[in-house]
Structure 1
Amino acid sequence: MYVVTAAPVAILLCVVTMLGWGSWANTQKLAGREHWRFELYYWDYALGVLLCAVLFGLTLGSRGPVGPGLFENLSQGAGGSMGYALASGALFNLSNILLVVAIDRAGMAVAFPVGVGLALVIGTIGSYVDTPKGNALLLFAGVALILTAMAVSSLAHRRLPRSSQAGRHGTLFAVLAGCLMGFFYPQLARSISPEFVTQPIAPGMLTPYAALLLFGVGLVASNVVINTVFLRVGGLSYADYFRGSARVHATGLAGGAIWMIALELNIIASGVAGPAVSYALGQGAALVASLWGIFIWKEFRAAPAGTGKLLALMILGYLAGIVAIGAATL
């Protein structure tokens, strides 16, 4: 399998993760312009995640000088490790659907700082407890700065004139999403052999590529239950899904693929940077999504004077937090 051995390369992969995780939601926005409901969009997103996991597993996960290949590792994996990977996919799926609802109701510039920011804090602490790697002082200083940026984002959203029932519900969904999303990454990391770059794969544990393939399977399998509920509540059926155009389906598939490529690179980088630093740096995605929401989708165009200062403070807080987290690996 392919692995990364140099810290600068690992940090670069985390930055790419940040860009991918912060940009995939644009595909939801584009699909929404064609009146494609989020419940329908999410099916294509889930399939994009799984297809990307299969592609990585059959290519980078099956070739290279380190560790066993994909199928060899899957045949040797213990039930506990495989269960962790499958469960992490299901847990992420529920949290991400809630985040998609939050984006639909409150916009990217609010849903990401609140939901993803909260997930960053929970996931970073959980990952560091499991695998303490990196400078703890810098790591948690970065987390504190990002928490501050989250609070400022919420203050900015309250200034919007339309910050009404839909906006408040969107923020609530973002909080629920963040609380759940913070636990998927530590759960996934528990299935992966801890020193997969420098040591043989531990008996019964998985390579990153095998774990991520099972993650994708868990996500799609759970989606049959979770998203069916959202479809029924929303007054939709599977027949509505098949009425979509090729372009709108391709948009959802692209969204899932973008997110999964970012996760694959992030897990590969974690072999050098450590799961806590790798995850925290990747979740700087909230900053990227905020920039998309503010400058491209103009989600704060109706805000009163003075809101721009709050948004600038939020961006600076995220930037400072990301720099501190990146420095924790050095």
Structure 2
Amino acid sequence: MFIISSYPMAVLFCILSMFCWGSWANTQKATTDNWRFELYNWDYVIGLMLSAFLLAVTLGSFGDGGRNFWVDIQQADYDSTKNALLGGVLFNAANILLVAAIAIVGMSVAFSVGMGFAMVLGVTINYLELPIGNATLLFLGVGLILIAMILNTIAYKKTIRTNTTLVSSKGLMLTLGSGLIMGLFYKYVINSVFPNFDQPLVGKLSPYTAVFIFSIGVFISNCLFNTLLMIKPIEGAPISYSSYFKGKSKNHLMGLLGGTIWCVGMLFSVLASSKAGAAISYGLSSGATIVAAIWGICIWKEFKAAPKEVSRILALMIICFIVGLVLIVMAK
């Protein structure tokens, strides 16, 4: 299987992961106005699972490194399989809340509040689990990125004074709930894989197998979580399964593409964890928060009605974000 051989390459893969995790939500924004997030989520989850399988049977099955996917999945023990599945269930619960929040308050705020909380929690948990890297530099970097997220939230508050349609306490509560759960899922996936990817351990999973089993957990839980949301939606009227089959091809393709982009980001982050450590890998990948905020600012014009002072706040946010990322990279 393909594995990462050096720390600089691991940093590159974390940055690619960051852009994937920060960009997939554009596909939801690109669907038609009447395409509800509950319907989008079905295609997103299917795209995630299909791409996880394709990556496992290609990159995860060729080459001399690690263990072939087909061999690996057959020898997986109960604990490793359970951890990967549980990671998928937790992620899906968090992601459904995040997608709902994006539909209500937009990408900039949903990612800044929810994913910011998830990043701080996730980095702390993963560092305590496996303390790799300089803790001072790592948490200084995390702190600056957290400041960047707070600045984004301040900019949002200043904007809603001139555009009251953006105000939604429900949306903000959804993002906090998403962040709380999102900060937990990564640890379970990392615990399911063998730490040194070129030295397989019996019972443990390769990153490709772990992400594939993770995607099965996402899909199975979606059958419960998303069905409940369709019956008792957070906003709007209940919707039926027949509505899904009436969707335009563009809507379905956007959902499949969104799941694929996120899955590639997840695999790259897990692959990087072997050389960078789980805390640094998750911390860098979670820089996706500001990538999403920039998409929201530049492409979707979510701060279009903002007063002039907001542009200065957003510029300071981007500076804090960049310096924070540099510190996280320097932590190892």
TM-score tier after normalising by the smaller chain length: over 0.9
- Give the structure 2 partner of residue 264 of structure 1: 267
Is 1:19 matched up with 2:24?
no
Residue 80 of structure 2 contacts residue 193 of structure 2 at CA under 8 Å; is this kept in 1? yes
By how many angstroms is 1:306 displaced?
1.3
TM-score (norm 2): 0.95
Whether the aligned pair in 1 keeps the contact of 2:193 and 2:210 (CA below 8 Å) is yes
> Greater CA deviation, 162-171 or 259-268?
162-171
Report what 1:240 is aligned to. Answer: 243
Taking the aligned partners of 1:163 and 1:304, their CA distance within structure 2 comes to 13
2:307: which partner in 1?
304
1:232, 1:312 → 2: CA distance? Answer: 42
Equivalent AA in structure 2 for residue 169 of structure 1 = K
Partner of 2:152: 153
Question: Match of 1:3, as an amino acid?
Answer: I
Contact 2:105 2:166 (8 Å CA) reproduced:
no
Letter of the 2:171 counterpart: G
- Matching residue's letter, 2:174: F
What is the distance in 2 between the residues matched to 1:91 and 1:319? Answer: 29
**Cα distance in 2 for residues equivalent to 1:246 and 1:307:** 38
Residue pair 1:152, 1:311 contacting (<8 A) in 2 also: yes
Aligned to 2:325: 322
Which residue identity lines up with residue 266 of structure 2 in the other structure?
Answer: L
Q: TM-score, normalised by structure 1?
A: 0.96
Equivalent residue runs for 1:177-326 within 5 Å: 177-197=178-198, 200-234=199-233, 235-326=238-329
TM-superposed deviation, 1:165: 7.9
Q: Distance in 1 between matches of 2:190 and 2:242?
A: 37
Q: How many angstroms does 1:164 deviate by?
A: 6.3
- Stretches of structure 1 that go unaligned for 5 or more consecutive residues are none
Aligned partner of residue 168 in structure 2, secondary structure = helix
Aligned counterparts of 1:319 and 1:24: Cα–Cα separation in 2: 21
Superposed, which structure 2 residues align to 1:41-120 within 5 Å? 41-120=40-119
Shifted more, 116-125 versus 166-175: the winner is 166-175
- Range moving further from structure 2, 254-263 or 201-210: 201-210
- The Cα offsets for residues 180-235 of structure 1, whole Å up to 9 and x where unpaired, read as 000000111010111223xx222211111111110000000000000001111231
Q: How many residues align?
A: 326
Find the counterpart in structure 2 of residue 2 from structure 1.
2
Alpha-carbon deviation of 1:166? Answer: 4.8
Aligned pair 1:175/2:160, yes or no? no
Letter in 1 for 2:24: W
What letter matches 1:180 in structure 2?
A: I
Moved more, 106-115 or 297-306: 297-306
Select between 66-75 and 258-267 the one with higher mean Cα deviation: 66-75
Residues in 2 aligned to 1:215 and 1:163: alpha-carbon distance in whole angstroms: 40
Report matched runs for 1:31-42 at 5 Å. Answer: 31=31, 33-42=32-41
- The one-letter code of the counterpart of 1:56 is L
- Which 10-residue stretch deviates more, 229-238 or 86-95? 229-238
2:278 and 2:164 mapped to 1: Cα distance? 36
Mapped partners of 1:227, 1:316: distance in 2: 38
After TM superposition, give the deviation of residue 60 of structure 1 in Å: 1.1
The reply to whether residue 134 of structure 1 matches residue 133 of structure 2 is yes
Report the AA paired with residue 137 of structure 2.
L
Percent identity over the alignment? Answer: 43
Query: Distance between the aligned counterparts of 2:18 and 2:99, measured in 1?
Result: 18
CA deviation string 1:148-184 (max 9, x = no partner): 1222222111112345685222111111101100000
Query: 4+ runs of 1 displaced by more than 3 Å?
Result: 162-166
Whether the aligned pair in 2 keeps the contact of 1:157 and 1:163 (CA below 8 Å) is no
Shift of residue 291, structure 1, vs aligned partner: 0.7
Q: Secondary structure at the match of 2:227?
A: helix
| Structure 1 counterpart of 2:110, one-letter code | A
8 Å Cα contact 2:149-2:290 kept in structure 1? no
**Matches of 1:102 and 1:77 in 2, distance apart?**
36
Q: What are structure 2's unaligned runs of at least 5 residues?
A: none
Instruction: Give distance in 2, aligned partners of 1:238 and 1:273.
Output: 43
